[in-house]
Amino acid sequence: MNANVTHHAAGRIGRRSWGLRLSVALAGLLAASGGALAQDAMGKSFVETFDTLSGSRWFVSDGWDNGKHQNCTWSKQQVQVADGNLVLSFEKKQLKNRDYSCGEVQTKERFSYGTYEARMKSGTGSGLNAAFFTYIGPVHKQPHDEIDFEVLTKDPSKVQVNAYVGGKSNDEKLVDVPGGADQGFNDYAFVWEKERLRWYVNGQLVHEVTEPSQLPSHPQKIFFSLWGTDTLREWMGAFSDPGKPVTMAVDRVAFTALGEPCQFEGSVACTLQ
C-alpha cells in the first residue's frame, strides 16, 4: 500500500519510506515473475469476499523486506484465507535477516478512476501499520502516485488518509473510526475522480481534495499490508514485541469504475449514482 527519499522529503523520512519500500518489494516481485508485471492489464469493476484468494487477481509478497525501516520480511505464510476473510499476520518468526514475518498482497492489475472499498478489522500494537492503499511508481516506469488508508495500530481509534502525487505527500489527516478499527469490521472507501478525491469511513465523508496538483492521475494497484518498524517511532510508535501474532482481516474489497453499477448493497458507489 509505499523507495526513495522522494517519498518523504524534507523531514518526512522519519514517518515512512514507501518509495524505498515499494521499489525494493516490487523489484523482488519483478524478479519472481519474470518481468510480467510490465504487461499489467487494466482492472475492471469487481467485488471479492475472499472465499479463496484468487491467484489470477492477487500476488502475495514473499521473501524480501522493503528496507532498513521495516523490521519484518514478507512471507506467504502470513497470508491466509479463513472464515471468508483475507487474514494478514505479523509475528515473531525469523525469516532471512529479520526476526519477524509479515503479510502483504497486491493486485496484478491496475485500476483507474472509480470507487475503492474495503471492509476490514485491524489488530493492535505499537510500531505496526495495517494498510489498505493503492500505488504505482518508478518500478512500473510510472510516476509515484498513491492513495492511502492506514491504521497505525498504536492508536486504532483513528485511521490516516493521504495521497501522493509524483512522490509528494498531500496533507495527511487522521480521522476517527467510530468504535475503533480493532473492535469490529469497518468500511473504508475512497472515490477517485479526475477533479476530486474523497475518503469515507463507514459511509461518512471524512476528507476531500480538489486541488489539481494534489490529485493522482496514474492507474494503480490495490494493496493490503501489515508490517512493523523499529525506526519510524515518531509516526508509528516505539515498537514493542506483541508477544503473539497480530492480524488484520479483510472481509470484502471492491472496485467500481466510474459510471458502472455499484458492486454490492451498501456500497458508497450506490449513493453516487
Just list the catalytic residues. Answer: 146, 150
- If DSSP codes are grouped into helix, strand and coil, which group holds residue 22? helix
DSSP character at residue 111? B
C-alpha cell at 46: 469487481
7, 18 Cβ separation under 8 angstroms: yes
DSSP secondary structure string for all residues of 59-103: EE--S----TTB-EEE-GGGEEEETTEEEEEEB---BTTBSEEEE
Q: Distance of alpha carbon 230 from its chain centroid, rounded?
A: 20
Kind of pairing, strands 72-74 and 100-107?
parallel
Closest CA to 82 of 254, 245, 234: 245
